[in-house]
Amino acid sequence: MAKILVVDDSIMIRRLIKMIVEKSGHTVIAEAENGEEAFFKYKVFRPDLVTMDVSMPRMDGIQAVKKIIAVFPSANIIMISAITQKELVFEALESGASRYIFKPLIDEKVNFVIEQALTLQNLQPV
Amino acid sequence: MFKNKFLDEIGIDSTLKDMDLYEVCLEKDKLTKDAYDLFLSDRYVPGIILTSQRKYIGMVSRKRFFEILSRPYSLELYLKRTLDTLFHEFQFSSSIIPEDTFISDAVKIVLQRDSENIFEPVIVQSENTYKLLDIDQLLIAHSEVHSVLSNGLKKSMNYVNNLLNNTGEGLLTFGYDLVIDPLYSAECKVIFGEEIDDKFIPGLLFPENNKQKEYFSKILRSILNKNTRMEKELYMPLLPAEAFVNSKNIEIEYKIISDCGPENSEKIMLILTDVSEKKNLENKISEERNIFSMIVKVITDKEAFLECKKDYEYFYRHGIKELMNRYNGDNSLVHEISRIVHTFKGNFSQFDLANTVNKLHDLETGLIDLDEKPSSNKTDSLRDYVFNADFESWLNEDLKILKKYLGNTFTDIENTIILELDKLENIEKEILNLPKSMTRVRLLNELKILRAKPFKNLLKTYPDYVFRLAEKLEKPVNRFEIESDDTRVKENEYMDFCKTLVHVFRNAVVHGLETPDERLVKGKEETGNIKCSIKQDDTYIELRISDDGYGLDSDKIKRALLKKNIYSAEKMKTLNENELFDCIFMDSFSTKDNVTQYAGRGYGLAAVKNELEKINGKVRIISRTDKGTEFCFILPIII
């Protein structure tokens, strides 16, 4: 089961994601409120997976993806976004994010994408 | 033509085997004369295969044969000699073509021969035998293949065009250059208002939005560049799902299709659907829903609405001027006005005044712009901006709609709305016509409660009636009020039932209560008590009517049942108290021996029961000797 870093400026969303992923057996090893904190926590905790909100104060999700991927190219990052932010999600994917989830966050959807992202990583040559 | 019957069977996958082939062979040691005779006997034989000990060594064509023999003295020279003396003359490099070669492929090979030999017959190999094919036959067959092909092509083009011209969807394709392919459906022309071949698709779909155009191009190319299906599928949902073209709402679906071209590259197909009508309808429905929501909200809280209206009117008539004077030249004026406008917006949106709220919202946006714009004289531009705003007509737009449904005078009296019932019914009918939604359910409920009357009203004449009847019978009772909560119902539904309750009240006085003397003997208060209470639960109404008199006399009931032959004595023993009490609702049951003006016929309670059943109600009687009797009716709530 995966160790997950949850990045979102809203505590409600962080709590929701934590609840969903822990129900399916994963562990949330750290949470972050913005991109800078996300990068810092990534360095410290080296999670298997990151869920990353697209828009956050200080440093947004796109910048955070770029910064993390630059240092840890194999980082596995799932973007969390509203359906109206397709362009930002595209930019995040081009910057190295592996998947995305459009809100609202529903258990099945979140679990499905997380499984996909984890399988994807296992398929990649080391 | 005389010998081309094989042509009927020629198709695009015909091979040389399907053609008329000549198998004419001569051993090389045969005389030239034999070949000469053979050629003369069949004028279509294109040539002769030469063999040596049955093995193929070459071919002599009719043309070449007579060319040689027509030289001077040739006839004399060659006719009597064997064919191999001539053999060197016949030889030319002719490729041998297998019989299962397609006609069009064979033509390609044959036409590559040098110009001198180009009209020589074609040698066709079928396992170990060799046959000859006339070149003109091959060319005729080839032209047949060509015409079959082009007819087929024309036919399928017709099919495709028929499909494209008659589908209601805009279908188009493009490759990596994002330039639209020449074949697209007729609906595309309707959507874009022009022919679109060779046009750049991002420019067509997002003509005015450069950012969107750029994003669209980037993601389309990115998708076409991805190698795996999985990657493509990851990116597809990021494509825009709709566009606004030529004042039309266009829904866009995407498909990746293979090009079938030589590079086997991929293309993207777009399926465009004009959903403007659907969108308009949706908007109209939500607009209507809004209107009724506004009406209901204004009706239910008219006082607050009028208060808000009054404040608003004061603001645009005097308030603005007062503020201007107070804040003269002060930049915080714009903030103050914004704050007030924002409050009005909030207040009016509580009543769903869509038009006023929208206009105030625009005004608010304008004020924010004004504040952010660096300007030397903010106060002047603010003054112009606010004084030009037509506050009055914005509200009037909404008032017009309200007046249409509620009557022109609805704003005149402050606390009440006088509304004819049929007007209310009209509003209800129109709301019923809206598609089902939570809003509709809510609106209908609020209207129903508005239309509903307190249940108490239905019983309001009984306390008086009881008091007067009791007086007349010299059984005085204490004055009583109906104890009730604010249970509201659709009055008509309960009217008939409540009318029959006169029997219950009358029975209470006539049969239930003792005379004052009897009461005194029993140690009771001289004046009797009759009570009536209404209580609403979640799903039902509980109506209790009680007296504090004799209580029901089981023995008397039993006697009456026996006397009227309703039950036998044995049967009676099996009845419990409740069942026994229920008998008093039976048709023509009465324990009174004499009929008076007030009681005794035994139809009263039967009528109550009858009406009670019509509205699916239930009744239970609780009675104790000398304590009294209580009728407890359980009624469904009908609003």
Residue showing tokens 């939005």: B209
For residues B376 and B373, the model is more confident at B373
Residue of chain A minimizing CA distance to B219: A90
For residues B277 and B565, the model is more confident at B277
Question: What local confidence, expressed as pLDDT, does residue B595 receive?
Answer: 47
In A, which residues are within 8 Å of B218 by CB distance? 90
* CB–CB contact B222 A89 (8 Å): no
Q: Span B470-486, mean pLDDT?
A: 88
Name the CA dihedral angle for B487, B491, B497, B498, rounded to a multiple of 10 degrees: 70
For residues B132 and B420, the model is more confident at B132
For residue B102, which phi and psi values (nearest 5 degrees)? Answer: -65, 150
Question: What local confidence, expressed as pLDDT, does residue B619 receive?
Answer: 92
Weakest-pLDDT range from B114-123, B470-479, B585-594: B585-594
Q: How large is the angle between the packed helices B391-406 and B354-372, nearest 10 degrees?
A: 170
Examine the pLDDT at B100 and tell me if it is beyond 70.
Answer: yes
Query: Which residues neighbour B555 within 8 Å (Cβ) at sequence distance 6 or greater?
Result: none
For B265-274, how does the pLDDT look when each residue is reduced to its tens digit (9 = 90+)?
889 999 999 9
Examine the pLDDT at A46 and tell me if it is beyond 50.
Answer: yes
- Report the C-alpha gap between B560 and B588 in whole angstroms: 11
Question: What local confidence, expressed as pLDDT, does residue A8 receive?
Answer: 93
Q: For residue B165, with 0-12 CB atoms within 10 Å meaning exposed, 13-18 middle and 19 or more buried, which class applies?
A: exposed
- Report the C-alpha gap between B184 and B190 in whole angstroms: 12
In A, which residues are within 8 Å of B240 by CB distance? 86
* CB–CB contact A86 B240 (8 Å): yes
* CB–CB contact B239 A87 (8 Å): no
Residue of chain B minimizing CA distance to A81: B238
For B153-165, how does the pLDDT look when each residue is reduced to its tens digit (9 = 90+)?
999 999 988 988 8
* CB–CB contact B238 A93 (8 Å): yes
Residue A126: CA count within 13 A, CB half-sphere: 1
* CB–CB contact B240 A99 (8 Å): no
Weakest-pLDDT range from B54-63, B135-144, B494-503, B563-572: B563-572
Chain B residues with a Cβ under 8 Å from any Cβ in chain A? 215, 218-219, 222, 234-235, 237-240
pLDDT band at A42 (very low <50, low <70, confident <90, very high): very high
Distance from CA of B222 to the nearest CA of A (A): 9
With the C-alpha atoms ordered B539, B543, B548, B553, is the resulting torsion angle positive or negative?
negative
* CB–CB contact B215 A90 (8 Å): yes
* CB–CB contact B235 A99 (8 Å): no
Residue of chain A minimizing CA distance to B233: A99
Strands A77-81 and B618-624: unpaired
Alpha helix locations (H) across B31-113?
Answer: 32-41, 62-69, 74-78, 87-90, 103-110
* CB–CB contact A90 B238 (8 Å): yes
In A, which residues are within 8 Å of B237 by CB distance? 86, 102
Question: What local confidence, expressed as pLDDT, does residue B490 receive?
Answer: 82
For B514-530, how does the pLDDT look when each residue is reduced to its tens digit (9 = 90+)?
998 889 888 888 899 99
Q: Please give the order of strands across the beta sheet that includes B170-174.
A: B170-174, B266-274, B248-258, B242-245
* CB–CB contact B218 A99 (8 Å): no
Which DSSP category does B477 fall into?
Answer: B
Examine the pLDDT at A125 and tell me if it is beyond 80.
Answer: no
For B340-363, how does the pLDDT look when each residue is reduced to its tens digit (9 = 90+)?
888 888 888 888 898 999 999 888
* CB–CB contact B219 A90 (8 Å): yes
Q: SS3 of B504, please? A: helix
For B570-609, how does the pLDDT look when each residue is reduced to its tens digit (9 = 90+)?
887 888 888 888 888 887 666 555 545 444 545 688 888 8
> How large a percentage of chain B has pLDDT more than 90?
28
For B212-262, how does the pLDDT look when each residue is reduced to its tens digit (9 = 90+)?
999 999 999 999 998 888 889 999 999 999 999 988 999 999 999 987 766
In B, which residues are within 8 Å of A93 by CB distance? 234-235, 238
Q: Span B7-30, mean pLDDT?
A: 86
Question: What local confidence, expressed as pLDDT, does residue B4 receive?
Answer: 60
Residue of chain A minimizing CA distance to B226: A94
Chain A residues with a Cβ under 8 Å from any Cβ in chain B? 86-87, 89-90, 93-94, 99, 102
In B, which residues are within 8 Å of A54 by CB distance? none
For residues B326 and B397, the model is more confident at B397
Q: Is the peptide bond before B374 cis (omega within 30 degrees of 0)?
A: no
Question: What local confidence, expressed as pLDDT, does residue B602 receive?
Answer: 59
Q: Is the peptide bond before A104 cis (omega within 30 degrees of 0)?
A: yes
Examine the pLDDT at B1 and tell me if it is beyond 50.
Answer: no
Distance from CA of B254 to the nearest CA of A (A): 15
ipTM over 0.95 threshold: no
Q: Span B320-336, mean pLDDT?
A: 79
Residue of chain A minimizing CA distance to B213: A87
A114 residue type, one letter = I
Question: What local confidence, expressed as pLDDT, does residue B264 receive?
Answer: 72
- Asked if B97 and B106 count as a contact pair (C-beta separation under 8 A), the reply is yes
* CB–CB contact B238 A99 (8 Å): no
Please state, rounded to an integer, the average pLDDT across all residues of chain B.
Answer: 85
Examine the pLDDT at A120 and tell me if it is beyond 60.
Answer: yes
For residues B551 and B583, the model is more confident at B551
CA B234 to each of CA B133, B219, B228, B490: distance values in angstroms, whole numbers, following the listed order: 59, 11, 10, 57
Query: Which residues neighbour B319 within 8 Å (Cβ) at sequence distance 6 or greater?
Result: B340
Tell me the sheet residues that pair with B271: B171, B253
How far is CA B436 from its chain centroid? Answer: 13
For residue B239, which phi and psi values (nearest 5 degrees)? Answer: -70, 145
This prediction's pTM: 0.52
* Cα R_g (chain B), whole angstroms: 53
- Report the C-alpha gap between A7 and A33 in whole angstroms: 6
Examine the pLDDT at B369 and tell me if it is beyond 80.
Answer: no
Distance from CA of B209 to the nearest CA of A (A): 14
For B29-77, how does the pLDDT look when each residue is reduced to its tens digit (9 = 90+)?
888 899 999 999 988 889 999 888 888 888 888 888 888 888 888 888 8
- Asked if B172 and B194 count as a contact pair (C-beta separation under 8 A), the reply is no
Q: Please give the order of strands across the beta sheet that includes B55-61.
A: B25-27, B47-52, B55-61
